[in-house]
A and B are shown apart, each in its own frame.
Chain A
Amino acid sequence: MFFLEKDQKVYEIRGVKVGGQPGVNPTVLIGSVFYEGHKVVIDGKTGEFDRKKTETLMNDAEGLSDKYGNPFMLDVIGPSGIAFEEYISFVSEMTDAPFLIDGVTEEARIAAVNYVSEVGLHERVIFNSINQNTNPSEIDVLKRSKVKSAIIFTYNLRNPTIEGRLSLIKGGTEKSLLYVSEESGIEKILIDTCVLDPPDLGPATRAILLVKSEFGYPAGCGSGNAIDLWGKLKELDKTTCKMCIGSGLAFPASLGADFLLFGPIEHAKYVFPVCAMFNSYVAYAIKQYGLKPAKSHPLYRIF
C-alpha cells in the first residue's frame, strides 16, 4: 500500500531522523516561532520578545513530542540579522531540538547563516530555503558557511502545478534545485512541495509521494499555510474548527510526509495527536510488508 520501490534517504539532524519508507520514521513536526504577528514578539526589528511566554510554548510542544513520539523542530522566523541573533541564541539555549532558519529577507538569512556558523550551531540548523528566487549571493554565503542541511522549496513561479514543482527538482532549461543545493555544499536535502492556498494541500501531498517515489529525498510541506489562509474556517463552530485544523495540518502524514511545517507553534496541540494517529495507521500497514517502524514510533504509544 505505501511501500516505495525507490531507495529512501534518511538523514539524522541533531539526533532527529527524517525520511525513509513511509511508516518507518514518524513525521517530524515543525512549529514556527517569531512569525509575522506572533504575540510573543515585542519588537521585530530589535528581536525583543517575551522570553517566558516563548519558553512555555516551546516546552508545551516538546511535551507533546514526548507524549506522541513525533520529533519536534522549530522554524525560527527572523526579519533581520539582529533579531535572528536574539532568537537563535534563545532557542539554542532553551531546547536541544534542531531548528530551521527562515529569514524574511535575503539579508536576514545571510546574517543567520553566518551567525550559526560562527557560534557553532550549524549542525543543528536547516536552512529554509533554496528556491527559484535564491540569488547567487546567497548560494555563495551557503557555500562558504558550515551549514549542511537545507530545504528545497518547490514554488514554481510560472507553473505551480504538481508537474511544475517536480520540474524544479528535475531541472531542464534552468538548473535543478538539487544541483543548486549540492553546489551550495548542502549534504542533507529536504524537499518542501509548497502549499499555495487552502486546497493546494492536496496537490502538495500528492507531490510529496511523487518526490519520494522518484527521487527518494525526505519530503514534506507547509500544511500550516493551508490552514492559516483558510478564511471560512472562522465560520465553523469551535469544535469543528479544531477538528479541521488538526486533520488538515496532519493530512500529508497519511500519505507518508516526512516533515510538516504546521505553522504557528500554538497549533502543536492540534497537529501532534492527529499526526501520531495517521502515522500509526501507515506504520501498522507497512509492518505487513516486513518493514519495522522506529522504536520511538507513535504506533507503540497511542493505542
Chain B
Amino acid sequence: MSIKPVKEVCNMEEEDIITKLNQSIINFDVDGVREAAKEAIKIGVPYKAVTEGMIKGMEIVGKKYEENEYFLTELILAGEAMQAGLEILGPWLKAEKVKSAGRVVIGTVKGDIHLLGKNIVVTFLKSAGFDIYDLGVDVPAEEFVRKAKETNADIIGMSALISTSFTEMEKVIKKLIEADLREQVKVIVGGATVTEKLARQIGADAYAPDAITGVEICIEWMKEKKSRK
C-alpha cells in the first residue's frame, strides 16, 4: 500500500497567484510578492510564478518607465519587490533546472564607485532570466576578464559615471582580446557620461542609454547567438 503525500493547504488558485505576483511587482508590494511566491511553491508552479507573474510585472514596470509614468524611485522599488520574490522562488527554480537566458558579468569600472545605474540594470537582467555575476564597483579590468573566463560569460556589462573611467573600459576590451575571449563575449557599456560615439571608440559592441534598452540589447544578442547554434 502506498502512502499518498499530504497536499499542503493552498489558499490561492494558480491564476490568482500569478495575478497577485504581477500586481505586487507593479505596486512595489514586497509582502504581497512574498505571500504569493510561497503559495506558488505550495502548488508547484515556481517557474511560472517567475516568468508569468514577476517578469511580466517587471515588463509593465519597464513600460511605465518608458512612458514617464514611473521614474527611478519606482524602478528601484519594483526591483526590490522582484528580489524578495526571487529569494523565495530561486531555490525552487534550480530544482526545475530553468534554462538561463545568458550569463552576464557586470560591474562599475576601476576608479568609479557609482552603483545606482548598474544595480538597476542588474535587477532588470535578473528579471529577464539572465545569470548575473555582479562584481560591484571599482572593478579592475583583470577581474572582468577573469570572471568572464571562469563563468564562460556571454556578455560583459560595464558602467561608468566619470570620463576618466573610459580608459578602464577600453582596457577591459583589450584584455579580452589578449585572453582570446573577444569573439565569444559581447561588451555593452553605459553610464551618465558614456555616449554612443565613445562606445564605438573604445571598441564596445553596444551602448545603452538606459537600463531597459541595455536589457533589450542583451536579449537580442542572446537570440542571435542561439539562432547561430
Contact = CB atoms under 8 A, between A and B. Distances in A.
Interface stretch (B55-63, B142-150, B157-165): B157-165
A44 B115 CA distance: 21
B162 A196 contact: no
A200 B80 contact: no
A106 B113 contact: yes
B163 A159 contact: no
Contacts of A36: 161-163, 193
Given A37-B193, A45-B164, 19 more contacts: A44-B164, A79-B111, A79-B162, A104-B113, A105-B111, A105-B112, A106-B113, A133-B115, A157-B76, A159-B76, A160-B76, A160-B77, A196-B71, A196-B73, A196-B116, A197-B72, A198-B71, A200-B71, A203-B73
A104 B112 contact: yes
A104 B162 contact: yes
A199 interface: yes
Interface in B174-206: 192-193
Interface size bracket, A side:
20 to 34
Interface of B: 71-73, 76-77, 80, 111-113, 115-116, 119, 138, 161-164, 192-193
A155 B115 CA distance: 12
8 contacts: A36-B163, A37-B163, A44-B164, A79-B162, A133-B113, A160-B76, A161-B77, A197-B73
A159 B80 contact: yes
A157 B118 CA distance: 12
Closest 5 CB pairs of A and B: A197-B72, A196-B72, A160-B73, A36-B162, A197-B71
A276 B66 CA distance: 36
A21 to B, nearest CB: 30
A200 B76 CA distance: 13
A238 interface: no
A7 to B, nearest CB: 31
A158 interface: yes
A105 B111 CA distance: 7
Interface in A166-204: 196-200, 203
Contacts of A159: 76-77, 80
A122 B76 CA distance: 37
B181 to A, nearest CB: 28
A200 B77 CA distance: 14
A105 B162 CA distance: 11
Interface string A43-62: 01100000000000000000
